[in-house]
Chain A
Amino acid sequence: MSNNCFHCLESVPPGFSATVVIDDSAKPMCCIGCQTVAETIVSQGMTDYYKFRTVTAGKVEQLVPEQLELIKSYDNEDIQDEFIALNGDISEVLLTVEGITCAACAWLIEKQLLNMPAVKLVDVNTSTNRAMIQWRKEALPLSEIIKSLLEIGYKAYPFQADLEASQKQLLAKAYIRRLGVAGLMTMQVMMFAFAMYFGMFSGMEESFEQYFRWISLILASPVILYSAMPFLTNAINGLKAKQLNMDIPVSLAIFGAYGASSYATLMAVGEVYFESICMFTFLLLLGKYLEFRARLKASEFTANLQKLLPLTARTLDENGHEHIIAAKKLKLNDRVLIKAGETIPADGIIFAGSTTVDESMMTGEHLPVNKYIDHHVFAGTVNHDGAIEILINKIGQNTLLNQIIKLQHSALATRPKLVEITDKVAQWFVACLLIFASITAISWYQIDPEHAFWITIAVLVATCPCALSLAIPTALTCAVATLTRKGVLIKQSHVLETLPQLTRFAFDKTGTLTQGRFSLDAVDVLVDSLSKNRILALAAQLESYSEHPIATAFNEFTPAQRDLTNIKIHPGLGITGEDDNYHYAIGKSGWFDSKKTNAQATFYIDQQPVANFYFVDEVKSNATLLISSLQQQGLTCHMLTGDASNAGQQIARKLKLDSFKLGCLPEDKQNEVKLWSSQGEIVAMVGDGVNDSPVFNSAHLSIAMETGADISKNTADVVLLNSDLAAIDHLLKISKKTRRIIKQNLALSLLYNGSILPLAALGLVAPWMAVIGMSASSIIVISNSLRLLKL
């Protein structure tokens, strides 16, 4: 333990020694970052954090000046419009905070920010990783708040709630309020109902019974008129759309029984069913709320979108002076300077400089693309290593990025949908119910007109589809909880119903079937004087200064001691460095006028090539297993990739895929999937890039990788948190099991409804029997669903 950092619990690297005195004893630290953070925490008197945290903090990264500049840019008034709400002289902002792991973090953040007098209110939500802050903006710029969070080790950026997310939040609160009212009131109504049950057996004064009925009516009214309202509105909306949904029999039972019971109370005749309908409303709301919350959590997780586009841009005026302006204020033909590591703010043409650009978010391919004068660069892609000046030629909605997003939105409207089981069952259930109720009413009207109305109401209450309506949401909630535990986030309710019906899987290549990063495949040493290991160590040392994706392939060879100096990065070429004797370089083949080969990187000593390196993007270890398992289950597997090279062909052959298509644009992927679904196939798309997000909305089901672009995770129905392909197999298994449980639940509840129906029709069901029957059947269904939690 003593060798681990007290702050982040990572091991302390040899040669680094630093301690911070926490609660009177010196604790080891692994890096300057952790040390500063721990010191801040101690000096602010917040060591309680270490006492009560349940999860360790992440390793603290040191900030680079560019990041500080970015934080400063949040103070720009033009940008602030988008995420700061003004309320008098109090501003309110929602920040997404990275690294919140447990309740102790929330406390630490709240305490740190409230130490500043200008901050009025902080509310940290540990499940969404967001902090709501209210403060006086004139007294304290936003950048200071973000900086003070950095001091205690949390990275924060403004969160822009989209309309959908904020509506969901409101809906969640409304659910809780309705649930609270229904719960509290149902308890009271039950209490009086029990008094009346006893009165039925042992006799009760007429005046008391009438009094209890009135009290029950008063207590039940908020439950029915407030808590149960969504059922009625859903039913009416369904009818307007000429669809019979589950809410129709539900509202028929609730509001029919409520009306009849109120009438009975007013007129002092017949029976009252207040307790049944209150209990029913509460159970149903609970089931619906739990299902809603499971999905809300999943969508909140992916809603913390890092902005795809930068907020600011550096424009150059005629005299070559730099001005930092809000990126949305860019105009056509503006000249913009983009430094290394920055994100390009709008589409444009390079007119000065050369660089390599990481276009992986567009194409899914991680290898940077070389860009020279007159080349196009696209908004949202990241400039790798050189500074360039571009002339803006497309802004706003016309940029390639927004074209892709538009494609995705338009696909959503025409998304293929399967009929959900609930709707199918509801349709014939409603029909049967109405027929049966009217038969009962008509026949009893012939026999005993006085009782006909009350017996019909008893039929409505007895057939009240409580267990039936709980059958599906409870099973889905339990399955979603199990999957979340296994690292699979389910964001849409249809997922588990669609899965068992799939006939086709389509995969993206890079990052989905493959690792999405390069590993060393072969080293070709061209001289005898140096060993392969020595070359690798030197190359790795140079590459450790590079952010090029190929550089990560050398990580495992990086020596502990670095002795090279004068490291220089040459955009589009490679990296050079020196020691006392030699000049070293690693970069593209053909550098320094050497002979060009097809090696992906070459190592040079004194400008002479000494070794060639070849890399592959390795196929994920469990991809083969998944594909063969899917094929055994009768599903066909296909690959749609943006990569046009023959690497795709090799992988398709290696994995024995049924078909593959190379060089696909986002539209091509979409068209392919649309073609399949028009042929009656049910298609799932698995991908990770921005370029996959349009096709996600064309497929019946979409699965994104956690390592993928934020926008694709936000669009997808399912997110695989550990990007593990084997999870798809689990997903299929659990969805099949869920389907079985749903069928059992439906059978059980129909059995209950079916057996109590004749009794009710014969006028043999008293209100207390209805309550017991309904609760018992609901509990059986819920217990059956709970079995899904044990998977």
Chain B
Amino acid sequence: MSVIYILVPIAILFVLIAIGVFFWAVRGEQFSDLNKQGHSILFEDDKEQHKKSND
């Protein structure tokens, strides 16, 4: 059971990383407009395609 003396601090480390990522996301305005972020996955990044078609 003494393994928890190591595992729990590691778990806490993960929580700290999660909080770090969360703060980063807040600073990047990801929470200011939930509507847009949810849809962003739908759109293809077809920049290359239209560059070719324009040529």
Contact = CB atoms under 8 A, between A and B. Distances in A.
Asked if A pairs with B, the answer is yes
Interface of A: 43-46, 48, 51-52, 102-104, 106-107, 111, 123-128, 132, 169, 172-173, 176-177, 180-181, 184-185, 188, 208, 211, 215, 218-219
A104 B38 CA distance: 11
A45 B49 contact: yes
A125 B33 contact: yes
B35 A184 contact: no
A103 B22 contact: no
B55 interface: no
Contacts of B1: 208
Nearest to B52: A45
Q: What secondary structure prevails in chain B residues at the interface with A? A: helix
29 contacts: A43-B50, A44-B50, A48-B46, A52-B39, A52-B42, A103-B39, A103-B40, A106-B33, A106-B36, A106-B39, A107-B43, A123-B29, A124-B36, A125-B33, A125-B36, A128-B32, A169-B32, A173-B26, A176-B31, A177-B22, A180-B19, A180-B26, A181-B19, A181-B22, A184-B22, A208-B4, A211-B5, A215-B8, A215-B12
Nearest to B27: A173
Interface residues of B, number: 32
B15 A107 contact: no
Interface of B: 1, 4-5, 8, 11-12, 15, 18-19, 22-23, 26-27, 29, 31-33, 35-36, 38-40, 42-44, 46-47, 49-51, 53-54
B19 A125 contact: no
Nearest to A169: B32
A177 B39 contact: no
Contacts of B29: 123, 125, 132
Contacts of A44: 50
Interface centre among B4, B26, B44 (most CB of A within 10 A): B26
Nearest to A177: B26
Contact of A185 (B15, B42, B46): B15
Contact of A107 (B11, B18, B31, B40): B40
Given A45-B49, A184-B15, A218-B12, 20 more contacts: A43-B50, A45-B53, A48-B46, A52-B43, A103-B39, A106-B36, A111-B43, A126-B35, A127-B35, A128-B32, A172-B32, A177-B22, A177-B23, A181-B19, A184-B18, A185-B15, A188-B11, A188-B12, A208-B4, A215-B12
A176 B54 CA distance: 44
A219 B15 CA distance: 10
Contacts of A103: 35-36, 38-40
Contact of A104 (B32, B39, B54): B39
Which 4 pairs show the lowest CB-CB distances between chains A and B? Answer: A45-B50, A103-B39, A125-B33, A180-B22
Contacts of A181: 19, 22
A660 B54 CA distance: 67
A286 to B, nearest CB: 14
Contacts of B18: 184
Contact of A176 (B26, B36, B50): B26
Nearest to A191: B11
A247 B15 CA distance: 29
Contacts of B27: 173
A126 B36 contact: yes
A48 B50 CA distance: 12
Max chain A CB contacts within 10 Å: which of B1, B5, B11, B31? B31
Contacts of A215: 8, 12
Contacts of B31: 173, 176
B42 A48 contact: yes
Contacts of B43: 48, 52, 104, 107, 111
Contacts of A52: 39, 42-43
A173 B32 CA distance: 8
Nearest to B11: A188
Contacts of B39: 52, 102-104, 106-107
B8 to A, nearest CB: 6
A123 B32 CA distance: 10
Contacts of B44: 48
A104 B41 CA distance: 11
Contacts of A219: 12, 15
Nearest to A48: B43
Contacts of B38: 103
A211 B7 CA distance: 13
A598 to B, nearest CB: 55
Nearest to B51: A45
